[in-house]
Structure 1
Amino acid sequence: MKAFALAPLALAVLSAFASVNAGAADTALGEVTVTATREGQLVSETPATVGVIKEKTLREVKPTHPSEIMGQVAGVWVNVTGGEGHQTAIRQPLTTNPVYLYLEDGVPTRSTGFFNHNALYEVNLPMAGGIEINKGPGSALYGSDAIGGVVNVLTRKPPSKPEIEGSIEGGSYGWARTMVSGGSAFGDHAFRADLNLSHTDGWRDTTAYDRQSGTLRWDSAIGDDATLKTVATFSKIDQQTAGSSAISKSDYDNNPKANYTPISLRKVDAFRLSTAYEKEWGNSLLSITPYYRNDSMDLLANWSLSYDPTIYTTENQSFGAQVKYRHDFEPLRTRVIVGVDLDHSPGSRVENRINTTSIGSGYTKIYTGYTLGARIYDYDVTYQGVSPYVHGEVSPTDKLRITAGLRQDHVTYRFDNRYGTSPIVVGSAYYGQVADGDHTFNHLSPKLGATYAFSESLNGFAAYNHAFRAPSEGQLFRPAVASSAAAADAAAVSASNLKPIKVDSVETGLRGKVNSAVNYEVSVYYMTKTDDILSYRDPVTNITTATNAGKTLHKGIEIGLGVQLAAAWRLDAAVSHAKHTYGDWRVGNVDYTGKEMELAPRTIANTRLTWGDAKTGMAQAEWLHFSSWWSDQANTTKYDGHDLLNLRGAYPLYRDISLFGNVHNVTDRRYAESTGVTSGNATFAPGLPRTFTVGLQAKW
């Protein structure tokens, strides 16, 4: 089944279907998103695929993990790695690589240099005011990071009158969560405060975690033409982790609770503060958003215990600003946006080798304890980014709207290594050291797109985007462990010489409505990545090395569909079919050119049948489908894929008090969140068995 063989047929059928029924549509494509241009814009005039998860959906689903909500957007897969940790796949395989940009109200949650693939656990996602996912390169308005997609989590608006609401819930494996939200308005001001306290004992051995997170938003009107929005958020996470600690096939089948790395841990502190000032007069708007971020993480990584056991602390602060000016002109509905993004983020890494104790041997060895060993990395690194951009829109006709943009990124890392350049030796392990100095990347990113309104109920778009991604501090300055001094020096030179990833993407699509009962969106994309920073894993030593290995190819079709079957019944589906391949992948004597990329199921589907709504009573059945995928780069081992059934519901008990519940994996299916090959053996990270949660929600 070929993605591009399906594309013309799907587009033709939907186009004809919508054209026949266009006259019956009673509403236009009037939904507004804020991610594509950093301010409100009609979806129908956005030449990109933007998935929207509304606040109402978040309130109904009450996700205990981002994976429970993100898959409602076609082509988006977020898995579980432990606690609320995750990997993400948007138009590329499941990965921990820094190829996505995570925002909160349009402000990046971290700087480019200090990317965290678990970014969504640093956001109070279950209490958000919505999520927007801009798939594919973010290009001119977002610059580095925005390759696979831009995920923008929106904070909840303050209420217009005093209110407070809260929920308490419990469930399988010691799950407990309390969420409280409240606010009020007075004069020209309004505020909302949210608090989320969560705990679980973990379903696998030694996988407990606790989190405390909160959001405070304060909105103010300044005169008749200006507003001020201040957002402060924090998250504290303390977790034992084993979600990505894969186990043998025997244990996967018979003892999935097994955890070979019970000593692993992750402690996270994240704080963000931003103030967005907007002033609008006539046809102009000025927006200035200064921000501050403070992040720290202690990590004992489970994935490297067999070949590079370490514990480390990374810290960074950020001082930055987003400045934007927009002006609209009467002729041809012309809009011009100019702006600049500024980011100054000093940070550090302190890392020690650890001495482990264990039982067993080989890839099923269980690590039982550790003591602190020698210091192997100790450095400061400051990321600085200055990125001016321009974005323009024009409508030559009433139905056609053309957009174009250009962004210049100037990125610098200032690196200060306290250890000089001689490798640090610990036993038979050698750790290469990068020399002090500045590492600078400059890149120009263009974009071009168009939308066309065939009718009030049918809209088409096409777009070309070019983007890049600068390496992160860990990729540049923390080279892989080596077995000799010469190899360690070579690894340090190779890491410090990593180049940015470049991406070119083209996509086209249709979106529309039929009557008021059916809405749909179909998009087709083709994306190439050159100088892709790939992780080569030696099949003998299991050592993983990052390298600019060549070109990867990504193509697919995504379909989102919603059908109001009857007054109380609704069917929603999000389906994607894609193929991700190594177009040119050679490292030494290894050549994976033409192989499919690992952890990349060709078909992903999320289908939901809903009865009623949360106010009057709701029941929902959700079916998840993942086709087979390769577990290794050489395409020698394949996972068969899986299907899952989830149930959720809510029932009002009295006035503003309601009962809600969820059942995950109703059939208790054994499935894998991810798979791999270790020392020539297939490994599996098992997914959650049948799990229950139940709770009460009240509002005053």
Structure 2
Amino acid sequence: MARAASAGLLTGLWATVAPAAEVITVTSTREAVRLWDVPASIGVIDGRSLRETAPAHPQQVMSQIPGVAVSVTNGEGHTTAIRQPFTTAPLYLFLEDGIPTRAAGFFNHNALYEVNVPDAAAIEVVRGPGSALYGSDAIGGVVNVVTRAARSSGTGPWGAGATAEWGSFGWQRVLAEGLWTGKAAGGDNGVRVSLNRTQTDGWRNATAYERTSLGLRWDHAAGGGLRVKTIVNSTDIDQQTGANTPLPLADYMANPTRNNFAIAFRQVQALRASSEFEWDSGRTLWSVTPYARLNGMKLNGSFNLSSDPRIEDTQVRSVGLLAKVRHDMEGAWKPRLILGMDLDRSSGDRVEDALQVTRSGSGASTVFSAYTVGPRIYDYSVDFKSLSPYAHVELQPVRALRITLGLRHDALSFDMRNRLATPTTQAGTRFYGQLPQASADFSRVSPKLGATWALGKGASLFASLNDGFRTPSEGQLFRAGSAANAAEAANRARLALALKPIQARQAELGLRAQWGAVASEWVVYRLDKRDDLVSQRDLATNLSTSVNAGHTQHQGLEWSLGAPIGATWRVDTALSWASHRYIDWVTATANFSGKQMESAPSMVGHTRLTWRPDAKTQLQLEWSRIGPYWLEASNSAAFGRYAGHDVFNLRASRRLHEQARVFMRLMNLTDQRYADSASVSSNTPVFSPALPRAVYAGLEVNW
């Protein structure tokens, strides 16, 4: 159970742990409400947990929420599994203070490295579809990273803080902040600037990573109920991306530092700016948030080298507006009405150059050691527009019952213009088809229905029925991929425009309970996806193509518990059991209907045992478990399953005085060989070795 969503002693050493019934979420309705009043599965990781965990990667903190798993790819890159298998598909919506970090159709599965996770005030995760409030991509879940406001220094209007860390394999990180609070511009102000500078040599060959993030948040209360929050955040990343290189079993066990994809790299730039204007007049709250963002990436993807090697250069520029009004009406049922409108206009560019790679070896053991840049294969621009009105209604027929209803209509359009003169380009034996210009329009209505029932002060039931969807991405629509000849390439380009959105529907039932200092939550759910848009890969050739392939079903049980043990010990656990199955899944070469989905562990668990002998000292033992899963879609005994793993981590901290703290963490305590991911390549089981034992230490100082 996430720290903010678990209970603790209201006095003594655990007094800072919020009672479960008092946890606040800002993601369910885009404003602060009690979690117990929300008919949805939402996990909250608060700032204290983030500071205590000091995550070097989002994986190290996200699993504190039941049903949430994150796997390491490269640097701080990741794949995510929230009521879904581990996937890079655009099934999740990532937000920063409620604003999407990217436009629909321009998804990046590594979205959490574009935000400053270790510096956040909180992370909130909505498990399951959230399209009725947030629109496209919110199928598996919504992840909202909340920025930190300026804190009071306690000694005057100015303050500062810094955390310096050192660790194994050349790991270094500096987190710094500067603060000012005071009166100016006709009101009260809080200004916070932040820095995250991270670098590491990587533990595998040629896997270095560098990151620089800068942030500004200015909160202004002008009086008369008017509040303004302005945020500007930027991130620059330069990394060698072979850290997730899969290896055949022999190399995985005996030579895990080997990197067959040392030529791969990724360079990322992200810039976001927004100003939220909020006016509260009592029964009515008005909110308008204009925003702008820039996302850029240059990529030589390790995952492309064996099938379609290329340099990708993508740029997306966006402007948008989030507007809403919330009105509390008088009446016996205490109706609350929220009306809103989301607008987004994004302009994207994609330029790709084919690569001629130097390789040695064969199959899954192929080594890629050099490349030269070949002909240009794609060069186009895309204009994206979305217009999305929504409504949310809350009713309270009786004191214990709260009903919520929601409806959102998304109208989305893509317009592509090709800058290449020829309809088909060629690189060696591969052909790429493209149209001179093309467009795609999508319209979708997403409803939701939910209810909470208070079972006295110590328990609350909730149930919900939610729809979700996601549109095809611009790459799936306009970059159809390589083909064996010009005619097939042109065909694939035309067929890509027939892709449809994925549709999803989820039903869930949950119970939140608190008995004294013990808090727990149980949730059961069933999520069905239809018209599932997948990239189906041939295991022998490694070529893939996107199709609306069928129906998948995802169902499971999620459970969390937080409890003190005596005066100085505490246990927090988050467990989930799930089944992810192909229901109707027929391709041109195989029928996977009825099979378990690959990369879909049946069990995910995370438990922390914390000892706090006094107010200055903390020691924590952490156990993370990923259960077994199939390596490929046919569930073939010839390839078998990944056996799963259990990993133990140890963290310790000691407060030297009010303004200084030292800490350390020992990751993979037993130095176990385990895999961040496992699959099949060239008809061979392959495994991506995870971080071996690593130690980190740091000093935190605040003024």
Paired residues of 1:356 and 1:368 also in contact (CA < 8 A): yes
- Relative to structure 1, the CA distance from residue 162 to residue 360 in structure 2 (aligned partners, 3 Å threshold; closer, same or farther) is same
Paired residues of 1:354 and 1:371 also in contact (CA < 8 A): yes
SS at match of 2:250: helix
1:410 and 2:406 are equivalent in the alignment:
no
Task: Provide the residue aligned with 1:183 in structure 2.
Answer: 179
State the 1:240 CA deviation: 0.2
Task: Provide the residue aligned with 2:162 in structure 1.
Answer: 166
Paired residues of 1:30 and 1:43 also in contact (CA < 8 A): yes
Structure 1 unaligned residues grouped into runs of 5+: 1-25
Paired residues of 1:604 and 1:625 also in contact (CA < 8 A): yes
Task: Provide the residue aligned with 1:594 in structure 2.
Answer: 594
CA distance in 1, matches of 2:547, 2:201: 38
Aligned partner letter, 1:180: A
Q: TM-score by structure 1 length?
A: 0.95
Task: Provide the residue aligned with 1:11 in structure 2.
Answer: none
Aligned partner letter, 2:118: P
Task: Provide the residue aligned with 2:511 in structure 1.
Answer: 510
Paired residues of 1:420 and 1:436 also in contact (CA < 8 A): no
Paired residues of 1:351 and 1:376 also in contact (CA < 8 A): yes
Task: Provide the residue aligned with 2:653 in structure 1.
Answer: 650
CA distance in 1, matches of 2:615, 2:87: 38
SS at match of 2:611: strand
1:70 to 62, 73, 78: 62
Task: Provide the residue aligned with 1:327 in structure 2.
Answer: 327
Aligned partner letter, 1:539: L
Task: Say how many residue pairs are matched.
Answer: 674
1:693 and 2:689 are equivalent in the alignment:
no
CA distance in 1, matches of 2:164, 2:553: 46
Can you list the C-alpha shifts for 1:93-149, whole angstroms capped at 9, x where unaligned?
000000100000000011112110000000001000000001100031111011000
Task: Provide the residue aligned with 1:21 in structure 2.
Answer: none
CA distance in 2, matches of 1:592, 1:486: 29
- Relative to structure 1, the CA distance from residue 140 to residue 674 in structure 2 (aligned partners, 3 Å threshold; closer, same or farther) is same
Paired residues of 1:612 and 1:619 also in contact (CA < 8 A): yes
Residue pairs, 1:673-692, within 5 angstroms: 673-692=676-695
Task: Provide the residue aligned with 2:4 in structure 1.
Answer: none
Task: Provide the residue aligned with 1:104 in structure 2.
Answer: 96
CA distance in 1, matches of 2:47, 2:123: 8
Task: Provide the residue aligned with 2:211 in structure 1.
Answer: 211
Paired residues of 1:28 and 1:456 also in contact (CA < 8 A): no
CA distance in 2, matches of 1:613, 1:104: 36
Task: Provide the residue aligned with 1:280 in structure 2.
Answer: 280
CA distance in 1, matches of 2:491, 2:246: 30
Task: Provide the residue aligned with 1:135 in structure 2.
Answer: 127
1:426 and 2:427 are equivalent in the alignment:
yes
SS at match of 2:482: coil
CA distance in 2, matches of 1:542, 1:49: 37
State the 1:474 CA deviation: 1.1
Task: Provide the residue aligned with 1:397 in structure 2.
Answer: 398
CA distance in 2, matches of 1:504, 1:421: 42
CA distance in 1, matches of 2:150, 2:196: 17
Aligned partner letter, 1:441: F
Task: Provide the residue aligned with 1:47 in structure 2.
Answer: 39
1:459 and 2:460 are equivalent in the alignment:
yes
SS at match of 1:561: strand
Paired residues of 1:420 and 1:433 also in contact (CA < 8 A): no
SS at match of 1:382: strand
Give the aligned CA root-mean-square deviation in angstroms.
1.3
CA distance in 1, matches of 2:452, 2:655: 43
SS at match of 1:333: coil
State the 1:330 CA deviation: 2.1
Aligned partner letter, 1:251: D
State the 1:613 CA deviation: 8.2
CA distance in 1, matches of 2:107, 2:60: 23
Counting aligned pairs with the same residue, the percent is 46
Task: Provide the residue aligned with 1:114 in structure 2.
Answer: 106
CA distance in 2, matches of 1:503, 1:28: 30
SS at match of 2:290: strand
State the 1:420 CA deviation: 5.7
State the 1:658 CA deviation: 1.6
SS at match of 2:44: strand
CA distance in 1, matches of 2:436, 2:27: 39
Paired residues of 2:563 and 2:571 also in contact (CA < 8 A): yes
Paired residues of 1:27 and 1:456 also in contact (CA < 8 A): no
Task: Provide the residue aligned with 1:228 in structure 2.
Answer: 228
Q: TM-score by structure 2 length?
A: 0.94
CA distance in 2, matches of 1:489, 1:566: 69
SS at match of 2:483: coil
CA distance in 1, matches of 2:597, 2:20: 40
Paired residues of 2:448 and 2:465 also in contact (CA < 8 A): yes
Aligned partner letter, 1:351: E
Can you list the C-alpha shifts for 1:5-55, whole angstroms capped at 9, x where unaligned?
xxxxxxxxxxxxxxxxxxxxx977122101000001111110000000000
Structure 2 unaligned residues grouped into runs of 5+: 1-17
1:306 and 2:306 are equivalent in the alignment:
yes
State the 1:158 CA deviation: 1.1
Aligned partner letter, 2:385: Q
Can you list the C-alpha shifts for 1:262-296, whole angstroms capped at 9, x where unaligned?
00000000000000000011300100000000110
CA distance in 2, matches of 1:688, 1:249: 16
CA distance in 2, matches of 1:149, 1:103: 11
CA distance in 2, matches of 1:102, 1:614: 38
Residue pairs, 1:562-573, within 5 angstroms: 562-573=562-573
Paired residues of 2:150 and 2:190 also in contact (CA < 8 A): yes
SS at match of 1:531: strand
Residue pairs, 1:238-277, within 5 angstroms: 238-277=238-277
Aligned partner letter, 1:687: A
Task: Provide the residue aligned with 1:485 in structure 2.
Answer: 486
Aligned partner letter, 1:368: S
Task: Provide the residue aligned with 2:617 in structure 1.
Answer: 617
1:155 and 2:155 are equivalent in the alignment:
no
Paired residues of 1:27 and 1:457 also in contact (CA < 8 A): no
Can you list the C-alpha shifts for 1:547-604, whole angstroms capped at 9, x where unaligned?
1100000000000110111222110000000000111111113111111111000000
1:639 and 2:642 are equivalent in the alignment:
yes
- Relative to structure 1, the CA distance from residue 91 to residue 614 in structure 2 (aligned partners, 3 Å threshold; closer, same or farther) is farther
Aligned partner letter, 1:495: A
Paired residues of 2:363 and 2:681 also in contact (CA < 8 A): no
Paired residues of 1:46 and 1:451 also in contact (CA < 8 A): yes
SS at match of 1:259: coil
State the 1:477 CA deviation: 1.0
CA distance in 1, matches of 2:378, 2:131: 34
State the 1:626 CA deviation: 1.1
1:146 and 2:126 are equivalent in the alignment:
no
CA distance in 1, matches of 2:32, 2:348: 34
Paired residues of 2:166 and 2:697 also in contact (CA < 8 A): yes
Paired residues of 2:616 and 2:656 also in contact (CA < 8 A): no
